[in-house]
Each structure stands twice: as C-alpha cells, then as structure tokens.
Amino acid sequence: MKNKAPENTGINSSDDLLELLEPANYNYSPVTPLKPDAFEIDDDTKIELIEKHFSAIMNILGLDMNDDSLKDTPKRVAKMYVKEIFSGLNPANKPDITLFENKFGYNQMLVERNIAVKSNCEHHFVPIIGKAHVAYISNGKVIGLSKLNRLVQYCSKRPQVQERLTVQIADEISKALGTNDVAVMIDAYHHCVSSRGVNDPDSSTVTTEYRGKFLHADQRVEFLKLIGK
C-alpha cells in the first residue's frame, strides 16, 4: 500500500507557524490604545462625567452616598483619574525635555537607577509599583537627569501593561536624545497579583528593553552590574 501524500497544512516556514499560533486580535503596538476622539472632551467635562459614573458604581455597591466620608468620593476619584494617575494619556502633559551639548566628550553609558514607577494595571485598574533603571550612551547630547524621571512618570501615568510601559520609556528616551543606544529595566509588583486572584505578595515582574549598543553582551553585563542585578 502506497504511503498517503502528506496533507497540505499551509505551513511552509517558521514564520507561517508563528502566524498561525499568534492570537488574531493581539495588539503588538507599543502605543496605548486610545479612541480617535480621546481628547475632544476637555478635562473638566471628563471629571464631571467620571464623577457621575463612579457615584453610580458606589450606589450599586450599596454605599450610603449621604455619608460625610463618602459623598465627595466620586469627585475625588474623578479628579485623581484625570489630573493625576492617568494624566499621561494626554500628550499635552508630556514633560519638556532639556538637552545639553556633550562638551566633556563623555561616551560611556549613563545609568539612572531606582526611578519610582507608579502605574495602574489596565486589566484591573489597581497599582503597579516598582523601580525603573534606564541607561543611554550619548551621541552628542545629554539630558537633564530629572527629565529621565519625568519621562518614566509620564509613561507610567496611564493604564498599562509592564511590557508596553518598558518599550514606551525606551521610545521616549530614544526620541528625546536622538540615539538608539538605550536600555530600560523595570522590576515591579502588581497588585492584581498581590491583593487579588492568586494573592501572592512576594512575586515581582521584570521586563527589559535593550537597543543599539546594549544589544551587545558586554554592554548589557555592565548595565546589569551597575544597577545591582
């Protein structure tokens, strides 16, 4: 009996296999998903609308909205969302970047460690708390050190997943300095893991983004050594 001819699966390469295995609706973009009209509503109107919706949520939960401690909570939450913890959604809030000429010819990596990361998980809207370590190698410009902190804060102040946050920080540093020689590491605790679900308070998540010269093993080793990893 002759062997049956192999069935044509349509898989002719590893790329075809990867495409088949990938979820069709997975968003690989490093851009935070926003509606096209996201900024047509001004901040005051957003606060007013969120206040009404959050008040409805509290009512559904059975809370007494006449209580002195609770009656102003919807407005406080609305202002916090728009003006504070999600203010990084609006490009108008992007920090101004101060650059200086690298007159001293410093051509080694510059590392800033332990930058506070305070973000919120886009799946459950609970905190992501941790530290970011960033590095770059100058191609002629250097950045005011506090601006690295501000770029991390700007990218963090939006609903996030840590992978996207890591890439966004690298993108902003790279664009600001005009260099691809950038490294970013984030080590963070997710309250969606520690305070709900599996309730594991000790596990943290580490993500990295290496570009340019940091793709070379010796540069990565030096970076990791300098940040104490």
- Domain limits, CATH 3.30.1130.10, in the chain: 97-226
- Domain limits, CATH 1.10.286.10, in the chain: 43-85
Percent residues over pLDDT 90 in the chain:
86
Per DSSP, what are the bridge partners of residue 127?
120
State the catalytic residues: 121-124, 162, 190, 192
Given this model, what pLDDT does residue 61 score? Answer: 98
Say yes or no: domain 43-85 is CATH 1.10.286.10: yes
Angle, helices 145-156/162-177, rounded to nearest 10 degrees:
140
Say yes or no: domain 97-226 is CATH 3.40.50.10300: no
CA distance 86 to 53: 17
Say whether pLDDT at 140 is over 90: yes
Q: pLDDT tens, 39-83?
A: 999 999 999 999 999 999 999 999 999 999 999 999 999 999 999
CA distance 133 to 149: 10
Task: Give the residue-averaged pLDDT of 91-105.
Answer: 94
Say whether pLDDT at 151 is over 90: yes
Given a contact cutoff of 8 angstroms between Cβ atoms, the answer to whether 85 and 159 are in contact is no
Given this model, what pLDDT does residue 12 score? Answer: 53
Given this model, what pLDDT does residue 28 score? Answer: 57
Give the least confident one: 3-7, 94-98, 143-147.
3-7
Average pLDDT, the chain: 91
Task: Give the residue-averaged pLDDT of 202-219.
Answer: 97
Percent residues over pLDDT 70 in the chain:
88
Say whether pLDDT at 18 is over 50: no
Given this model, what pLDDT does residue 59 score? Answer: 98
Three-state helix/strand/coil letters over the chain: CCCCCCCCCCCCCHHHHHHHHCCCCCCCCCCCCCCCCCCCCCHHHHHHHHHHHHHHHHHHCCCCCCCCCCCCHHHHHHHHHHHHHCHHHCHHHCCCCCEEECCCCCCCEEEEEEEEEEEEECCCCCEEEEEEEEEEECCCEEECHHHHHHHHHHHHCCEECHHHHHHHHHHHHHHHHCCCCEEEEEEEEEHHHHCCCCCCCCCCEEEEEECHHHHCHHHHHHHHHHCCC
Given this model, what pLDDT does residue 194 score? Answer: 94
Say whether pLDDT at 17 is over 60: no
